[in-house]
Structure 1
Amino acid sequence: MKVASVVAIPLEARFADVFGGADKVPAHISSPASHFRRIPRTGQVTTLVMVTADDGAVGYGECFGLPHPQLASTLVSHVIADFLKGAVIDDPAEMTADLYRYFIALGGTHGAPIEALSGVDIALWDLKARAADLPLATLLGGEPGPVETYVSPVGLHATPSETVAAARAYGERGFHALKLKIGRGPKVDAEHLKAVRDAMGDGFPIYLDANCAYDEHSALEVAEALAPYAPGWLEEPIPPGDVLAYARLRERSAVPLGAGENEFTLDAFRRLTEAGAVDFLQPNISRAGGVSGLLAIGDLCEKAGIVLAPHGVGGSIAVAAAVHTCRAAPAFGLYEANMLLNPLRDELSLKAPVIANGNLVAQDLPGHGAVPDPAMVDRFRWTARS
Structure 2
Amino acid sequence: MQIADVTAFPTSFPVSARAGERLGIGKVVKRDAVVVRVRTTDGLVGWGESHHARSPGTVGHLVNRTLRDLVVGLDAADTVGVWTTIYTAQLASHGLGAAAAIAMSGIDMALWDIRGKAVGWPVYRLLGGASRPVEAYAGGVALGWSEPGFLVDEVWPLVERGYRAVKLRIGDNPVDDLARISAVRSAFPALQILADANTAYDLEDVRRIAPGLRDQQVGWLEEPFPPHDHRSYAAAARFAGVPLAAGENHYTRFEFHRLIEDGAVSVLQPDLSKSGGLTEVQRIAALASAWKLPLNPHTASTGLNMAATVHLLAATENAGYFEADVSHDNLFRDELVSSSITVRPDGTVLPPEGPGLGVEVDEDFLAAHPVIEGPGFVR
Q: Distance in 1 between matches of 2:145 and 2:264?
A: 30
Of residues 171, 181, 202 in structure 2, which corresponds to 1:215?
202
Give me the TM-score of the superposition, normalised by structure 2: 0.93
Instruction: Report how many aligned residue pairs link the two structures.
Output: 370
Q: Distance in 1 between matches of 2:145 and 2:238?
A: 31
Of residues 222, 244, 256 in structure 2, which corresponds to 1:235?
222
Q: Once the 2 structures are TM-superposed, how far is the Cα of residue 384 of structure 1 from its aligned partner?
A: 6.3
- Structure 1 segment 1-386 matched on structure 2, within 5 A: 1-15=1-15, 19=16, 25-26=17-18, 29-36=19-26, 40-104=27-91, 105-106=93-94, 108-110=96-98, 112-152=99-139, 155-201=143-189, 203-341=190-328, 342-357=330-345, 358-382=347-371
Q: Distance in 2 between matches of 1:348 and 1:252?
A: 44
Q: Once the 2 structures are TM-superposed, how far is the Cα of residue 65 of structure 1 from its aligned partner?
A: 1.3
Residues 180, 206 of structure 1: 8 Å contact kept: yes
Q: Secondary structure at the match of 1:49?
A: strand
Structure 1: gaps of 5 or more residues:
20-24
For each residue in 1:217-248, what CA deviation from the matched residue of structure 2 results, as whole angstroms up to 9, or x when unmatched?
32232222321000000000111112232122
- Superposed CA RMSD in Å reads 1.7
**Identity score, percent:** 32
Residue 377 of structure 2 is matched in structure 1 by none
For each residue in 1:74-128, what CA deviation from the matched residue of structure 2 results, as whole angstroms up to 9, or x when unmatched?
1111111111111122331321213223222125332x21110000000011101
For each residue in 1:42-80, what CA deviation from the matched residue of structure 2 results, as whole angstroms up to 9, or x when unmatched?
211111111111010111111011412112111111111
Q: Secondary structure at the match of 1:156?
A: coil
Residues 7, 49 of structure 1: 8 Å contact kept: yes
Q: Which moved more, 1:212-221 or 1:279-288?
A: 212-221
Q: Distance in 2 between matches of 1:204 and 1:231?
A: 10
Q: Which moved more, 1:55-64 or 1:217-226?
A: 217-226
Residues 295, 330 of structure 1: 8 Å contact kept: no
Residue 22 of structure 1 is matched in structure 2 by none
Q: Distance in 1 between matches of 2:58 and 2:262?
A: 32
Q: Distance in 1 between matches of 2:37 and 2:188?
A: 43
Residues 214, 241 of structure 2: 8 Å contact kept: yes
Q: Distance in 1 between matches of 2:334 and 2:210?
A: 35
Q: Distance in 1 between matches of 2:7 and 2:59?
A: 12
Which amino acid in the other structure matches residue 126 of structure 1?
D
Which amino acid in the other structure matches residue 353 of structure 2?
D
Q: Which moved more, 1:346-355 or 1:254-263?
A: 346-355
- Which structure ranks higher in relative contact order (CA pairs < 8 Å, sequence separation ≥ 6)? 2
Q: Distance in 2 between matches of 1:326 and 1:72?
A: 26
Q: Distance in 2 between matches of 1:69 and 1:361?
A: 30
Which amino acid in the other structure matches residue 185 of structure 1?
N
Q: Once the 2 structures are TM-superposed, how far is the Cα of residue 200 of structure 1 from its aligned partner?
A: 0.5
Residues 243, 271 of structure 1: 8 Å contact kept: no
Structure 2: gaps of 5 or more residues:
375-379
Q: Secondary structure at the match of 2:251?
A: coil
Q: Secondary structure at the match of 1:308?
A: coil
Which amino acid in the other structure matches residue 135 of structure 2?
E
